[in-house]
Every structure is written in structure tokens, then in C-alpha cells.
Structure 1
Amino acid sequence: MSPNYDGINDIFEGSWSNAEIQELHIYDRWGGVKYSSNSNFTWDATYKGQEVDNGVYVYYVVYKNNFTGSKEVKSGSVTVAK
């Protein structure tokens, strides 16, 4: 993600087909929470109104699988490069 306001890759968006997202959490490499929400699933690479540093951040998503109806978790990483 490159939050430089050019309209390309400016936000990290939690949206998947066939899934209903219920929570989105973003952590820095030390485990500090940089974003957490159960209603808005887009992150603009800011924390408390300030841009975060370049680097790798971990996302953790809780969602309902619309095929099975089960609650599931997915995690991975997102790289911020301005």
C-alpha cells in the first residue's frame, strides 16, 4: 500500500466476496495496535491522525463465511511504502 493520495493503493480494504467481515485489526511489528474496528474496514495507514512509518504491518480479520455460515479468521501482512 502506498498512501500518497494518488488514488492508487492508498488504503487497505477489508472486503472479500462471499464473506461478511466483522472485525479488522492492524498491528505493528511489536504487536502495537495501529487500527481496530468492527464497523469500518478500511485503513488509510494512519494512527491517531498521524501517518505510520514505512514497514510491514500484520492484519487480523474476523469474518463470517457466507458459504458455510461459520466464523473464521484470516491474517497476513500489508506493507506500507510511501
Structure 2
Amino acid sequence: VQKIEELLQRSGARIERETDRLKILSPVSNFSHEFDFDCEGDPRLAMAAAILLKKEIPVNIKNRQIVNKSFPDFWDILNV
């Protein structure tokens, strides 16, 4: 949850952390500042960050190839 919170905050969303979940108060919109995000070897985090790329949020996903282990065609299918 902590890394998803980081990803959302760095992409401009306003969020509130509750005990075991995150509450999104405002969505990401008109964000243009590029930032790096380290998925720390977790393909789920890389996939979550990839959604931002589809929304044209300029995130540089570090170690993005980790997705290839479980979903080799992910980046081709997503077309980002």
C-alpha cells in the first residue's frame, strides 16, 4: 500500500491513508512533471505505474522488465 500511495502522490493525486486502504480524494489530472518510480522488483507495481503512462503521465518506471517474468507481452499489449 505504501508504494501505491507514493505512486499516486507523485503523480499528483490527492489521497488519504486509512487503516488498511487509500482513499483517493482527487484524481490525477493535467500532470506534466516527469518522475522516477522504483517498482522494487514487484511486477504489480510496474503494471500499476504503466496505467499512468496510458494516461500520458510521464513516469519513468525503473526495473519495468520485471513484468516480463509473469506477463511477457504486457508492454506490447499495453502499447506504451
Output the TM-score relative to the length of structure 1. Answer: 0.20
Higher helix proportion, which one?
Answer: 2
Higher relative contact order (CA 8 A, sep 6+): 1
Higher strand proportion, which one?
Answer: 1
